[in-house]
Structure 1
Amino acid sequence: MSAAQVEGLKPIRRALLSVTDKTGLVEFAKTLSSHGVELVSTGGTARALRDADLAVKDISDLTGFPEMLDGRVKTLHPRVHGGLLYIRGNAEHESAVAAHEIQPIDMVVVNLYAFEKTAAQPGVAFGHLIENIDIGGPSMVRSAAKNFEDVAIVTLVSDYPALTEELKAQNGALSRNTRWRLAKQAFATTSAYDSAIANTLDKIAEAPEPAQPISAEPQSAAPQVLPTTLRINMPLAQSLRYGENPHQRAALYSDGSGLGVAGATQLQGKELSYNNLVDLDACWELAQEFDAPAVIIVKHTNPCGAATGNTVLEAYTKALACDPVSAFGGVIGINRPVDAAAAEEIAKLFVEAIAAPSFSPEARQRFAAKKNLRLVELRPAPPKPVVKNISGGLLLQDADTGRVTEDELKVVTWRPPSPEELRALIFAWRVCKHVKSNAIVYARDGQTVGIGAGQMSRVDAARFGAQKAVLSLQGTVAASDAFFPFPDGLEAVAAAGATAIIQPGGSVKDDDVIAAADRLGLAMVFTGIRHFRH
């Protein structure tokens, strides 16, 4: 350490421990005790320490006041916060704490009530949710963090090993730099905690009775109100080499759920890049649209091949056949465990990354030869609102979870789709939802055949999707993410070889478009819902 850091060393003589997550608690407390630190604790934490044969002083012995109100009041006391907040060496502060017999507290080890886990429980009672709002914990965290010059505040279990090493190296003391790092982390912790509470309560329009589950609110025809204040508070999960381009800085932030792409486990390969993560999210989300084994190949967030099959291998073979040129260097999302047969075939293609629920040992062994290939295992995350930056602010919208079933489709042409066409239409519609607008998707049952993505006009999307097709489009169906404003787009789809079309409907020219479909012998259905994707 530098001379300045050594001068900033402060010994830890008394520590207050009150934690919900008791992982590593006993080991860390033993380290403190070995340096002569007096341990003060509360409730279950004190019991856990005593069970480990550690000497512990109850918080009530420190304050001279019993815990009360079912534990709601135990650390909210001048002898706690005075011991945390007084400035050592300040004559006036020293005089005040001496007069009131307040003892210094040099370290606080706290993690907060698991409010978010409680809120996520199905059918959790409103009263139970409210009881899991921590009051004393955040108060101690803030007091200790504010007075970091004299007090160390520990809020993360992951900090125990490093602190143990420093305490051993410095004979029971911590440096100013360490206390400052812990303080910044502590304020981030309370900020995230308050945001989680506010965001959860913001969703509850009227306070239910205490015993009533918060999920059992009366249903209303009115749409759910969006947050009155948008609070985004996520810790840094990983610094990235750069963003979309090398001159842009980038980082990954996670909600801590361990779900979705942000919570994925990387099994092998180079560090995930910004573009990898964006593409993995795109292909993984589309893969979740299907119940059957599905493989999605994505390039620059657009699918260039999507298919379902009886096996992952069959689905992959069909997806690759759609556009094998664009698939080179792509990212793959798979909604089933990857076995050896699928891995053997996928390994023949240059792929940047693959996301799946799991990979068999044989599959991992086959992929191991491709050192740079990123393999990630992940679990689905529930849909969350979509946030986008604009100059001067942010846009927020619900996730596009819209789906239609066969029964909800409206046949608008004289010829209804055949059962085979109907299955293909539903498949094409689910894929089209994940293609950038304007979007046209040509498909057979369980396989994309041509994809026209991100075109400025719908007729261009129809023509481009046909031009890109490697396989024959004869007898395919087509999906359009929004209505056809004129018959020309539909005519382009028919000219490409499609026999049936699925689209939202709703254009002022619907009658003209329907008439064109009838003239061309096409079956057409309306969904009543569109899937713009910008």
Structure 2
Amino acid sequence: MSDIKKMYTTILGDSFPLEMTISFGDQTLVYRKKTWKIRKEDGTEEERGLRYGENPDQEAALYELVNGNLVLGECKFIEPGNSLVSGITVDDMLQVGKHPGKINLTDVDNGLNILKYLMDKPAAVILKHNNPCGASLGESLAEAYNRANRADRIAAFGGAVVLSRPVDRETAEMMSQNYLEVVCAPDFEEGSLEILAQRKNLRVIKIERIDRLAEFEKYRFVDFKSLIDGGIIVQQSAVNSIRSREDLKPAVATWKGKEYRCEREPTQREIDDMIFGWAVEHGVTSNSVIYVKDGCTVGIGTGEQDRVGVAEIAVYKAYKKYADITCFDKFGIPYADLELEVEQGKRDRADKEEIDAKVKEDRAGLPGSVMISDAFFPFRDAADVGIREGVSAILQAGGSMRDYASIEACNEADPKVAMMFTGQRSFKH
């Protein structure tokens, strides 16, 4: 067992070259491999790149764009000098913890991918396996982190936290209570690093450019997908065009000569949650449906093959996470531990019944939430899932032949549900 465990703490090393060039016709991009000279526990220093790839037996390397200003068609791609994760230096690793691997850095990168649309207020995103498990805005950074963590305390275990503001002592205290893999922020206020140092394996990364992250909203980069035969598919990166109420479109459709229009207009709070939720959706693996409320995720469904299924999974997760945080608040233990203790006869069954009753009464906090779908509803069944749980508004791409049916579902609801279209799909694979 000890040998199996050791593979997760071993730096694999890699055979990748120090420099890589990619030519697009007469234009050339130059990439340089990132390595860091990091002091080991025995006091010696070692120059290494990524720890390993997605698994401990996969070599991996991180490259930073250092040359080339690519222009293809009417699209001008991101230029050198705008590095975020690929520009991390050894000085930016304020606490190394365990040497970073591919997943640590891609989680941070996707956190930045979401945060770049949320820079107006303190915001926190907690990620696992390149998907957000909790995302929230707050009046303070501590509030934003606390809400994101409470949205899914279970999945946040071992997660990467990416923050839009410098870490203060209050936020550091909260994060030190959890097992986290990475904390990334634009800066760390006095005393916060000493608090985080209580977690010796935690990686603490400073990316100063986060304070200018909003500039990256419109930047495009070349997005590569490698195929098993060595071929590649190249695409422009996605850009979120839904940034204000004016970008939203009314839910209107025509079917067999009849016009269908959503009868209820969304409130300002619902509009705000639509804008927030669509920003979070930009970093969620498709097919996806999420529920958000008051600038915080309630349930996140990711990577499913059918839309009604992912709508149901997001509801299921909302109930499971709500039961867990309710139990933790009441008894100081996870809901799963409560279930086990009841089953083993170590705890009164009434304790579990109390939690279950509270979750059922509150309906996992879903009533009044906004349902966000990264693409259109091909049938009304997915909309019906959210409406049954009490959502007050829905945001979807629109463009289905059966948009009229989803509009009817909103108009038939009691109370009526608002719906808006984005006119933009937000797939991420």
TM-score by length of 2: 0.70
2:330 is equivalent to residue 491 of structure 1: no
SS in structure 2 of the partner of residue 531 of structure 1: coil
Deviation at residue 233 of structure 1 after TM alignment: 2.9
Other-structure match for 2:93 = 266
Other-structure match for 1:105 = none
Taking the aligned partners of 1:529 and 1:232, their CA distance within structure 2 comes to 30
Q: List runs of 5+ in structure 1 lacking aligned partners.
A: 1-183, 200-226
Deviation at residue 490 of structure 1 after TM alignment: 0.6
Aligned ranges 1:299-378 → 2 under 5 Å? 299-378=128-207
2:125 is equivalent to residue 296 of structure 1: yes
Q: Which has the higher strand share?
A: 2
Deviations along 1:162-190, whole A, 9 cap, x unmatched?
A: xxxxxxxxxxxxxxxxxxxxxx98xx6xx
Alignment CA distance shift 1:492-1:249 (3 Å)? same
Check the 8 A contact 1:318/1:447 in 2, yes or no: yes
Other-structure match for 2:427 = 532
Check the 8 A contact 1:427/1:445 in 2, yes or no: no
User: Which range is displaced more, 464-473 or 380-389?
Assistant: 380-389
Aligned ranges 1:353-502 → 2 under 5 Å? 353-378=182-207, 379-380=209-210, 382=216, 383=219, 384-390=221-227, 391-404=229-242, 405-412=244-251, 413-469=262-318, 470=322, 471-502=364-395
Check the 8 A contact 2:240/2:279 in 1, yes or no: no
Taking the aligned partners of 1:371 and 1:479, their CA distance within structure 2 comes to 38
Taking the aligned partners of 1:423 and 1:501, their CA distance within structure 2 comes to 12
SS in structure 1 of the partner of residue 65 of structure 2: coil
Check the 8 A contact 2:176/2:198 in 1, yes or no: no
Aligned with 1:285 (options 102, 113, 118): 113
Letter in 1 for 2:424: I
SS in structure 1 of the partner of residue 147 of structure 2: helix
Aligned ranges 1:50-449 → 2 under 5 Å? 227-228=24-25, 231-238=28-35, 239-256=49-66, 257=81, 259-264=83-88, 265-268=92-95, 269-290=97-118, 291-378=120-207, 379-380=209-210, 382=216, 383=219, 384-390=221-227, 391-404=229-242, 405-412=244-251, 413-449=262-298
Taking the aligned partners of 2:26 and 2:303, their CA distance within structure 1 comes to 33
Q: Which has the higher helix share?
A: 1
Say which one has the larger Rg: 1
Q: List runs of 5+ in structure 2 lacking aligned partners.
A: 1-16, 36-48, 67-80, 252-261, 323-363
Taking the aligned partners of 1:231 and 1:497, their CA distance within structure 2 comes to 53
Figure out how many residues of one structure are paired with residues of the other and give that number: 315
TM-score by length of 1: 0.57
Taking the aligned partners of 1:263 and 1:275, their CA distance within structure 2 comes to 16
Taking the aligned partners of 1:241 and 1:368, their CA distance within structure 2 comes to 21
Taking the aligned partners of 2:249 and 2:106, their CA distance within structure 1 comes to 35
Taking the aligned partners of 1:494 and 1:428, their CA distance within structure 2 comes to 17
Other-structure match for 1:19 = none
Work out which structure has the larger RCO, using CA pairs closer than 8 Å and 6 or more positions apart in sequence: 2
User: Which range is displaced more, 235-244 or 497-506?
Assistant: 235-244
